[in-house]
Amino acid sequence: MATKKILITGAAGFLGSHLCDRFIREGYQVIGMDNLITGDLKNIEQLFKLRQFEFYHHDVSKFIHLTGHLDYILHFASPASPIDYLKIPIQTLKVSSLGTHNCLGLAKAKNATILVASTSEVYGDPLVHPQNEDYWGNVNPIGPRGVYDEAKRFQEAITMAYQTFHQVNTRIVRIFNTYGPRMRLNDGRALPAFIGQALRGENLTVFGDGSQTRSFCYVDDLVDGIYRLLLSNYTLPLNLGNPDEITLKDFAAEIIKITGTTQKIVYKKLPKDDPKQRQPDITRAKEILGWEPLINRADGLKITLAYFRSLAPEELYKLPKEFDSIK
């Protein structure tokens, strides 16, 4: 029987690189694709020596051409942090619209199953708590986060259209906050920001009064859920995340404790449209996939902190990438 072949876009990113690892372990032939705007080849350098892996430096917003058969596509290319999509708003919109269109066209041409990475941000600043898949969301389409939120909402819409009109075999995962090794330390998300500040000896910055909540899922748990969803027959959007909810104020205190530092928490103005609550309802994932997170936050944070501590000192002080040349 021929080896199953899978294309993973955003392969050099945080989630994409872990997905490459998982599918290599499962015996797949993996094609990684990334334009490296926010990805880093260091995340997949361990794979380049393997004959089961090949890499294409390509922007999925442009036409995708691959020869030979293809069984699966995981579309994970996208800026995924506030710093990224506020600096490259057009690219953010393109990768989830034009990029998704191209990936869906490729899936149609190859008769491949495609799973697209949506996000809890489709729920916006939710008026329903916890968030289940039937909630339509509360999103400001022209606010500072709209380029990401609405791009992902469009991504879901075009994916469902390809499923219903062209009978493409599709999956949609709505990913809640995820963490683990290979996160970019200075990408603006709460967890790496807090750990980076603690390791640099800086006070931890909490926006607003810190009462807003997040729910953090360890990357291995998320990858397992994505693997199960891809191989399932479920075609509607599905939440994956850890429902263990915590306020950002308490989370900052938790990071101070585990890093053994003596910094204080300082408070700054809450950014516009920042979600006040974020907790997944994973009832459907439990029922359909038999999936739920297994790694608790304490254990996951130990592994993640060890990774950040292993970085070279200059990595701790590296400023976020600039994207001035991206149109």
The domains located in the chain, with CATH, are: 5-178+218-242+279-294 (3.40.50.720)
Q: Write the single-letter amino acid at 259.
A: T
- Average pLDDT (316-322) is 57
Using an 8 Å Cβ cutoff, are 122 and 152 in contact?
Answer: yes
Looking up tokens 């994932």 gives 285
pLDDT: is 228 or 85 the higher one? Answer: 228
Phi, psi of 43 (to 5 degrees): -70, -20
E strand map for 201-299: 204-207, 213-215, 217-218, 237-240, 245-247, 265-268
The CA-based angle 234-238-239, given to 5 degrees, is: 155
- Average pLDDT (122-149) is 91
Tokens standing for 64? 């995708």
> How many C-beta atoms surround the C-beta of residue 268 within 10 A?
9
Residue range 69-116, pLDDT digits in tens: 999 999 999 998 888 888 899 999 999 999 999 999 999 999 999 999
How many alpha carbons lie under 13 Å from residue 263 in its C-beta half-sphere?
25
Q: Is 90 exceeded by the pLDDT of residue 163?
A: yes
Residue range 190-217, pLDDT digits in tens: 899 999 999 999 999 998 899 999 999 9
Q: Is 50 exceeded by the pLDDT of residue 41?
A: yes
Radius of gyration over every alpha carbon of the chain, rounded to an integer in angstroms: 19
C-alpha dihedral, 234 to 241 to 81 to 252, nearest 10°: 180
Whether 148 is a known active-site residue: answer yes
| CA distance linking residue 278 with residue 276, whole number of Å | 7
Which three-class secondary structure state does DSSP give residue 102?
helix
Looking up tokens 């876009």 gives 9
Instruction: State if pTM tops 0.85.
Output: yes
Candidates 148, 162, 179, 218; catalytic one: 148
Q: pLDDT at position 323, please?
A: 37
Q: How many helices (H) and strands (E) does the chain have?
A: 10, 13
Residue 310 host element (H or E):
helix 297-310
Q: Is 50 exceeded by the pLDDT of residue 174?
A: yes
Phi, psi of 5 (to 5 degrees): -115, 135
Using an 8 Å Cβ cutoff, are 227 and 22 in contact?
Answer: yes
Using an 8 Å Cβ cutoff, are 186 and 196 in contact?
Answer: yes
| CA distance linking residue 183 with residue 116, whole number of Å | 20
**9: confidence class by pLDDT, cuts 50, 70, 90:** very high
Q: Is 90 exceeded by the pLDDT of residue 185?
A: no
